[in-house]
Homo-oligomer: A and B are copies of this chain.
């Protein structure tokens, strides 16, 4: 999938919403916990309830690793389910991996070949050769952490070097790497004041924006600050959608929560004359 394909899907669905599948068994409805495979059952229900309103799903790998082999089985089933039932939906492995070239090749193989994700999030700390094994897959997207939404972002990402902050340098360096049109960047929704300057460095690349919903970021502000004429952003919400109820009505409330965000996105896409 390339940027143009993503753009077409955004226009068709009038949405740039990604639903984060951060599945915690302690938070899913009680009656589902008795199920043989509670993680997959919950994910399937959430996917069926929200797929009309989103263009992407983002399983957060930490949540699956917590459940060991059962978690991995569920993850494989979830990605297979999305690929077979909703083949138009973009899939993001939120893994934030990072390692030497020889090891990154293995992570790329795990997520792009075995699990067949369309993209993966990557930490840039180890530099070019740690990221290039992912970039070699020309039909996949590699999503670099740039400016994250957490409080620790200020610890190192704002370090100034030759007049540039670390996150700026990460972006500027990465655009010189091979196949860099397939790069996306993670920028937290709380960085409304800085995101326009990031857009100037990468006018055409997609930004993956977490931090609306439970983390408090404002969809309208961030979208107006950074959308390009092909949208160019994917905005993620996890907890505020998937845990909007833990009762029997969880599918309905998840659907309503996703639709509400999608409606706001449709209006923003209209304002920008994208649809």
Which A residues have a C-beta under 8 Å from some C-beta of B?
A: 22, 24, 60, 62-63, 65-69, 72-73, 76, 96-101, 103-104, 106-107, 109-111, 114-115, 123-131, 145, 148-157, 159-162, 166, 169-170, 173
Closest to A62 in B: B106
Pick the residue among B66, B99, B123, B152 that contacts A114 (CB under 8 A).
Answer: B66
* A148 proximity list for chain B (CB < 8 A): 100, 125-126
Q: If the complex has contacts A150-B100, A152-B129, are A106 and B69 also in contact, measured as CB distance less than 8 A?
A: no
A126 touches B110 (CB 8 A): no
B161 touches A110 (CB 8 A): no
Distance in angstroms from A71 CB to nearest chain B CB is 8
A152 touches B127 (CB 8 A): yes
A19 to B155, CA, bound (A): 33
- Given A69-B72, A72-B72, A155-B173, 6 more contacts at CB 8 Å? A65-B106, A124-B125, A124-B156, A129-B152, A131-B152, A160-B162
5 contacts between A and B (CB under 8 A): A60-B103, A65-B110, A130-B152, A161-B166, A166-B166
Copies in the assembly, this chain? 2
* A60 proximity list for chain B (CB < 8 A): 99, 103, 106
A229 to B101, CA, bound (A): 34
A151 touches B128 (CB 8 A): yes
B96 touches A123 (CB 8 A): yes
A270 to B5, CA, bound (A): 64
Pick the residue among B66, B97, B101, B127 that contacts A156 (CB under 8 A).
Answer: B127
A159 touches B159 (CB 8 A): yes
A99 to B148, CA, bound (A): 9
Q: If the complex has contacts A62-B110, A69-B73, are A129 and B156 also in contact, measured as CB distance less than 8 A?
A: no
* A98 proximity list for chain B (CB < 8 A): 96, 98, 123, 125, 145
B110 touches A157 (CB 8 A): no
Pick the residue among B68, B111, B128, B173 that contacts A115 (CB under 8 A).
Answer: B68
Q: Which of A68, A101, A104, A162 has the most CB of B within 10 A?
A: A68
Distance in angstroms from A262 CB to nearest chain B CB is 24
B125 touches A145 (CB 8 A): yes
Q: If the complex has contacts A69-B73, A98-B96, A115-B68, are A126 and B145 also in contact, measured as CB distance less than 8 A?
A: yes
A155 to B96, CA, bound (A): 18
Distance in angstroms from A51 CB to nearest chain B CB is 24
Closest to A165 in B: B161
